[in-house]
Chain A
Amino acid sequence: MIVLFYNRKTKNRISTAWMLIAITFVIILPFILGAGLYYKSSMLFEQNSLGDLLFSKVWKPSIGKFGFLTFIMGSVWVTFIAMLISAPICIFAALSITQYSRKFYLRIIHPVIDILAGLPSVVYGVWGIIVVVPFISNVIAPIFGAQTMGYSILAGAIVLSVMIIPFILNILIEIFRTIPIELTEASLSLGATKWETIKYVLVKKAVPGIIASIGFGLARAFGETMAVLMVVGNMIQIPKNVFDAGYPLPALIANNYGEMLSIPKYDSALMFAALILFVVVMVFNALMRMLIVRYDKY
């Protein structure tokens, strides 16, 4: 009996210790990530100032000049246009799913959203090459009188917008569902129509949540790699319109890992690109999270 008791206690101690180790590891993980990337990219600061790195267009790895502006602009263009496409679609879809849809339709749309969310990014890339790229070069570009092979900012943005739809949509559905039903019922009982209730009560109440969901989507889109890389064209230039090819930051990292060790400091430059992504995404997510927390309090 005593031995048994002893065993249980030992077991408890070992497992508690393991849990503590694991949770400590998880808590310091973001700091290790940041520190590791910073350490590897710090060599870059010897020759280039931070301002030069972020705002210079000169990209000449062979003479040690690393200006990331072209790549940052590539990322900004693709992300921004993707959000323009997917934000309205997500808001309208989330409204109809939470306010108007019948049970029967929910049983279809929820698995659809889940499958879209689960498809790997390379699959979206393949779809982009088969469908989106030819569609742009054969249909959309001629309408605007532009000439393009189709591998363009617009192709990247369309593929990206489809990828982040399930992500934003899930957050929005969650947000609309947590708004107390009494609020909408009160509005309806005062004689407002369904649409008036949605416009003046539901959406008004959800504004911080809607902003946050779009912010999370932005952060998500900013770091997406493979799918964008496959359709965006990858030419080192600052895009002037949506039919130009671009070169976003993640694509820069993914495309050049092969040559990384052959040019001095090139590996530091790629790690710096990863560091930019890391910082932007973390800051964005932190801000949005705080927005939601604050709005929950009221």
Chain B
Amino acid sequence: MIKKIEEIFFRSLMLISNMLILFVLALILFSIFKKGLSALNWEMLTQRPHGGYYYGKEGGVLNAIVGSLYLSIGATFLATIIGVPVALFMNVYLVKQRKILNFIRFLLDLIWGVPSIVYGAFGFTLMVFLGIKTSLLAGIITVTLFILPIMIRACDEILKTSPLGLLEASLSLGSTKTETSFRVVLMQSFSGIVTAILLSFGRAIGDAASVLFTAGYTDSIPTSLNEPAATLPLSIFFQLSSPVPEVQNRAYASAVILIVIILIISLLSRALSKKYHKNRI
């Protein structure tokens, strides 16, 4: 009897935990959409902040949307051309060297956990060292460093599952390791890799702490890499610290925009990973 009660007790704790998780997500989305949707309009999406925007006059956050996209696309591109070759190298060239491979994975897991604010601080140091000002370029470099371990680890997880036989078959037919890497192993897991890239892109667009020092903030849309760039998370943060209610409401609206972007990325990668699971050998 006591056993039965114990089981029921713990089952209900499990149920409560699950309900809490579902409830919290619903609460987050509901509360932000409720506050933000009323302030969200076409102007928010298509205009830069005009004079007096931060006192409640007209304008929008186009500068931040475009800045965020530039920054994350740039950083994701750089991280891809560094990260994907690294993941391929680990799974084609080093696939037999268990010790080295474990060591690299261990290091990657360590830097994977380093908080973004530390990358921000480091990025700032790097900027001073290289003599560049707060700019789109400095932001892109910092965010690249931040998402690089995330991307490599995600690609590695995907490539790890590609069968060794495939690799050996390709090599035994006379292809070079490069051809095996890019034409066989990469193609085999292509949609998985794209999912990993999308994941990193989501990280890049949502992070504020690493660009706080490095990308700067501006009301105009950057036209070159040397100009500072606004980002959506920072724009939310700054608008929210304003005492004017209209500006605060726009912060909520900007949060809605950011959430929608993240949800689209998440949906895309979900669809792709389904495709990946269907196609793999």
A129 to B255, CA, bound (A): 12
Hey, what's the 0/1 contact readout for B8-29 against A, CB within 8 Å counting as 1? Answer: 0011011111101110110110
Say if the beta carbon of A126 comes within 8 Å of chain B: yes
Q: Which of A48-56, A58-66, A88-96, A147-155 contacts B (4 or more CB under 8 A)?
A: A88-96
Say if the beta carbon of A43 comes within 8 Å of chain B: no
Interface centre among A36, A122, A194 (most CB of B within 10 A): A122
Per DSSP, chain B at the interface is: helix
Residue of A nearest to B119 (CB): A33
Residues of A within 8 A of B148 (CB): 26, 29
Say if the beta carbon of B53 comes within 8 Å of chain A: no
Asked if A274 and B122 make an inter-chain contact with CB atoms under 8 angstroms apart, the answer reads: yes
Residues of B within 8 A of A120 (CB): 205-208, 233, 258, 262
Asked if B14 and A100 make an inter-chain contact with CB atoms under 8 angstroms apart, the answer reads: yes
Asked if B115 and A225 make an inter-chain contact with CB atoms under 8 angstroms apart, the answer reads: yes
Q: Which of A15-23, A138-146, A176-184, A235-243 contacts B (4 or more CB under 8 A)?
A: A15-23
With contacts A22-B89, A36-B125, A130-B32 known, is A277 near B118, CB below 8 A?
Answer: yes
Number of chain B residues close to chain A: CB under 8 A? 83
Residue of B nearest to A11 (CB): B178
Asked if A26 and B117 make an inter-chain contact with CB atoms under 8 angstroms apart, the answer reads: no
Asked if A115 and B266 make an inter-chain contact with CB atoms under 8 angstroms apart, the answer reads: yes
Asked if B28 and A119 make an inter-chain contact with CB atoms under 8 angstroms apart, the answer reads: yes
A281 to B118, CA, bound (A): 10
Asked if B114 and A116 make an inter-chain contact with CB atoms under 8 angstroms apart, the answer reads: no
Say if the beta carbon of B213 comes within 8 Å of chain A: yes
Asked if A122 and B110 make an inter-chain contact with CB atoms under 8 angstroms apart, the answer reads: no
A222 to B270, CA, bound (A): 30
Asked if B21 and A93 make an inter-chain contact with CB atoms under 8 angstroms apart, the answer reads: yes
Residue of A nearest to B176 (CB): A12
Return 13 A-B CB contacts under 8 Å, by A number.
A26-B108, A37-B122, A95-B14, A116-B25, A118-B202, A122-B233, A123-B255, A123-B258, A131-B28, A194-B7, A223-B115, A254-B117, A254-B209
Binding site for B on A (CB under 8 A): 8-9, 11-12, 15-16, 18-20, 22-23, 25-27, 29-30, 33, 36-37, 39-40, 88-90, 92-93, 95-97, 100, 108-109, 111-116, 118-127, 129-131, 162, 165, 169, 193-196, 216, 219-220, 222-226, 230, 250, 253-254, 257, 270-271, 273-274, 277-278, 281-282, 284-286, 289
